[in-house]
């Protein structure tokens, strides 16, 4: 399995880069400083060796001048005489030891003859041996700095400085003065100084790391501020930026100020586009015809209006699909749309079955080479149905007014009869006890008729709705809590469930509460031996749905169409007003109520109300 490697953060990269650059500079300076220290010590050692060598040379010349060999000898004998003078001079060895002791780095001074044999030396073991050649101090100084430092720090040989010495009458040098500089002593003198330089270099590197981290933090913090500004712009909080630009560097403050201006403009543009899109969507949803917009490739990019109702088309699932997939060419509508788009010609209200179809071709480019298709579809039976509904509504309204007038005319005589019966009942109580029973029966029937007329007037009286924003989840839960005690006494268990925390509607709280209460009470009364009553609230297709299901005996098929009729009841003592009042309340709110019942298993009532829209169309 290949694991994705994440790139280091900006702060880490800045820190690494700064430390790398600083370390490189400090390392280079450290090497230069170390080279300077080594070169300084080598030059100092060279100077000391030269001084010591010159002192020995001067003293040796003085000794040779004091003991000049006899004249008249040949060249070889004369040179051997000079060598013997030096070899036999006991004070010269003491002089070499004294000169060597004056310098800490010099460990040996020797004088050799022309054949390389040691004649005199500060080291008693050297005379009579062949001189061992060592690397020259001058050659060490002349090497490159890296080699010089490496040879000094690593274990190596001692270094020498040689000075030739000739005598009068000889063409070539007769003696060689060799001064040995100790590598060990030189290293002991150099290492402390080099260590100090190295410590200062490490301190500089550590300081550079800290400085790089702090500086990268400052840079990243300002970049983080810019990132936060952009996040606030994208989340619509651009208005808070102006007060938050203080405290940043001047350059970043300028950038934040400009981003704030851009954020205000961006927010305005987004709000305008969102508002326009919402308004277009709501406008399309309120249209009675289906609106479909296809791009030049034939894919659905916009659908609204009555598309879901007229075409049985799931808008969300259809968006992005091809026209031929939504409307196959083997259907009348699909063949018509394909022909209209292929011929590149618009069509006005062509009747396809029960549908009236209009196709408009809209240019999608300045050269009109590509066109989008705007399809408008409406149900041809819609206007006739609307006219029929309006006529039916007018007739029902007239009937309600007539019935209300008749009810008023009936109620007035009933009031007079009730008054006369009270007088007659009081007279019969004293004058004719036998007639009192008959009068009581008449009184009860008149009262029952008065209740019927009064309920009928209440049902037909126009209701003035007091609309406000309601949460149907909370309202339904409140009804469930109100009927809970009575339900427990009857052995009915109430269960409440909601798929959403709230479902907003616009309506009259008292009227809707009474409607739900009537349906719930009807369900409880339908289970005299106890049972279960479920109340469920959900939202789908911009509708609030309240389902009230009982486990009673159910409603016979022949009575299901009558349960919403006035004064019809399946119970012996029912008034026949609860369900009709609920039906009327939902109708007044633009909703509906229906039922589904299965004998022996119970009945379910489905209450539907339009969900309240969050915003109106601007």
Per-residue pLDDT, averaged over 552-560, amounts to 83
Residue 431 CA, chain-centre distance (Å), reads 94
pLDDT digits (tens, 9 = 90+) for 71-94: 555 567 777 777 777 777 777 778
Question: Judging by DSSP bridges, how do beta strands 106-112 and 118-121 pair with one another?
Answer: antiparallel
> What tokens appear for 319 in the block?
């968006």
pLDDT(270) > 70: no
Band (491; pLDDT cuts 50, 70, 90):
very high
Q: How far apart are CA 260 and CA 92, in angstroms?
A: 93
Distance in Å from the first CA to the final CA of the chain:
55
CATH number of 468-610: 3.30.565.10
Name the nearest CA neighbour of 443 among 463, 426, 455.
426
**HSE-up (13 A, CA, CB side) for residue 516:** 28
pLDDT score recorded for residue 263:
65
Hunting for tokens 């909703």 — which residue is that?
591
- The whole-model pTM stands at 0.36
pLDDT digits (tens, 9 = 90+) for 523-554: 898 888 899 999 999 998 888 999 999 998 88
pLDDT digits (tens, 9 = 90+) for 2-41: 555 556 666 677 777 777 787 788 778 777 777 777 777 7
Higher pLDDT, residue 133 or 506: 506
Per-residue pLDDT, averaged over 288-309, amounts to 77
Band (162; pLDDT cuts 50, 70, 90):
confident
> What tokens appear for 443 in the block?
């009184």
Q: What superfamily does domain 287-378 belong to in CATH?
A: PAS domain (3.30.450.20)
Residue 553 CA, chain-centre distance (Å), reads 55
Per-residue pLDDT, averaged over 271-292, amounts to 66
pLDDT(563) > 80: no
pLDDT score recorded for residue 409:
63
**HSE-up (13 A, CA, CB side) for residue 266:** 17
pLDDT digits (tens, 9 = 90+) for 181-226: 877 777 777 777 777 877 887 887 788 778 777 777 776 666 666 6
> What tokens appear for 112 in the block?
């050799």
**Which bin fits 554, alpha (ψ -120 to 50), beta or left (φ > 0)?**
left
Q: How far apart are CA 307 and CA 376, in angstroms?
A: 9
Query: What average pLDDT is seen over the chain?
Result: 75
pLDDT score recorded for residue 93:
77
pLDDT score recorded for residue 580:
82
Higher pLDDT, residue 487 or 149: 487
CB count in 10 Å sphere of residue 174: 19
Hunting for tokens 């001079």 — which residue is that?
89
CB count in 10 Å sphere of residue 79: 19
Q: How far apart are CA 336 and CA 332, in angstroms?
A: 6
Asked which of 48-57, 71-80, 151-160 is least confident by mean pLDDT, the reply is 71-80
Q: How far apart are CA 347 and CA 370, in angstroms?
A: 18
Query: Which letter does DSSP use for residue 558 in this model?
Result: G
> What tokens appear for 145 in the block?
């700095």
pLDDT score recorded for residue 305:
59
Instruction: Give CB contacts under 8 A, 24+ apart, made by 23-28.
Output: 23/205, 23/208, 26/201, 26/204, 26/205, 26/208, 27/201
385-460 placed in CATH 1.10.287: yes
Band (364; pLDDT cuts 50, 70, 90):
confident
Query: Which letter does DSSP use for residue 498 in this model?
Result: E
């Amino acid at each position: 399995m290949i694991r994705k490697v994440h790139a280091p953060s900006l702060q880490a990269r800045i820190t690494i880069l700064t430390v790398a650059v600083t370390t490189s500079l400090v390392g280079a300076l450290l090497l230069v400083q170390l080279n300077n220290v080594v070169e300084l010590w080598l030059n100092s050692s060279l100077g000391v060796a030269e001084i010591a060598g010159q002192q020995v040379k001067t003293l040796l010349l003085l000794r040779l001048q004091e003991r000049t060999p006899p004249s008249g000898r040949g060249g070889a004998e004369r040179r051997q005489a000079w060598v013997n003078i030096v070899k036999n001079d006991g004070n010269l060895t003491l002089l070499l030891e004294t000169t060597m002791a004056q310098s800490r780095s010099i460990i040996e001074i020797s004088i050799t003859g022309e054949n390389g044999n040691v004649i005199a030396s500060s080291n008693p073991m050297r005379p009579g041996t062949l001189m061992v050649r060592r690397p020259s101090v001058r050659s060490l100084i002349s090497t490159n700095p890296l080699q010089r430092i490496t040879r000094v720090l690593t274990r190596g040989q001692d270094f020498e400085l040689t000075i030739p010495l000739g005598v009068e009458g000889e063409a070539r040098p007769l003696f060689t003065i060799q001064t040995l500089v100790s590598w060990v002593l030189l290293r002991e003198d150099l290492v402390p100084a080099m260590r100090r330089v190295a410590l200062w270099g490490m301190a500089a590197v550590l300081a550079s790391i800290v400085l790089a981290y702090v500086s990268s933090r400052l840079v990243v913090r300002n970049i983080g501020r810019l990132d936060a500004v952009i996040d606030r712009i994208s989340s619509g909080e651009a208005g808070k930026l102006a007060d938050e630009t203080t405290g940043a560097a001047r350059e970043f403050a300028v950038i934040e100020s400009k981003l704030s201006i851009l954020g205000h403009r961006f927010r305005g543009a987004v709000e305008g586009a969102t508002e326009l899109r919402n308004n277009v969507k709501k406008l399309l949803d309120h249209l009675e015809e289906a609106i479909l917009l296809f791009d030049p490739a034939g894919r659905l990019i916009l659908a609204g209006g009555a598309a879901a109702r007229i075409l049985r088309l799931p808008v969300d699932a259809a968006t992005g699909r091809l026209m031929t997939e939504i409307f196959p060419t083997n259907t009348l509508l699909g063949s018509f749309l394909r022909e209209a788009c292929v011929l590149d010609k618009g069509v006005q209200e062509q009747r396809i079955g029960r549908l009236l179809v209009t196709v408009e071709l809209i240019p999608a480019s300045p050269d009109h080479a590509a066109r989008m298709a705007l399809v408008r579809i409406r149900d041809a039976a819609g206007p006739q149905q609307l006219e029929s509904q309006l006529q039916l509504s007018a007739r029902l309204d007239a009937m309600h007014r007539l019935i209300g007038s008749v009810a008023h005319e009936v109620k007035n005589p009933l009031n007079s009869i009730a008054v006369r019966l009270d007088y007659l009942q009081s007279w019969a109580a004293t004058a004719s006890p036998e007639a009192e029973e008959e009068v009581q029966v008449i009184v009860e029937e008149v009262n029952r008729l008065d209740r019927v007329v009064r309920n009928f007037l209440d049902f037909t009286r126009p209701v003035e709705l007091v609309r406000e924003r309601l949460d149907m989840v909370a309202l339904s839960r409140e009804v469930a809590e109100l009927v809970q005690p009575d339900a427990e006494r009857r052995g009915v268990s109430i269960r409440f469930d909601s798929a959403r925390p709230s479902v907003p509607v616009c309506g009259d709280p008292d009227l809707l509460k009474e409607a739900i209460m009537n349906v719930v009470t009807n369900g409880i009364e339908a289970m005299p031996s106890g049972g279960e009553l479920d109340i469920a609230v959900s939202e789908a297709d911009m509708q609030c749905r309240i389902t009230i299901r009982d486990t009673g005996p159910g409603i016979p098929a022949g009575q299901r169409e009558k349960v919403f009729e006035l004064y019809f009841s399946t119970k012996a003592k029912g008034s026949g007003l609860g369900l009709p009042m609920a039906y009327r309340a939902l109708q007044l709110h633009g909703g509906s109520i229906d039922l589904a019942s299965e004998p022996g298993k119970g009945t379910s009532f489905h209450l539907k109300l339009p969900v309240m829209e969050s915003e109106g169309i601007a």
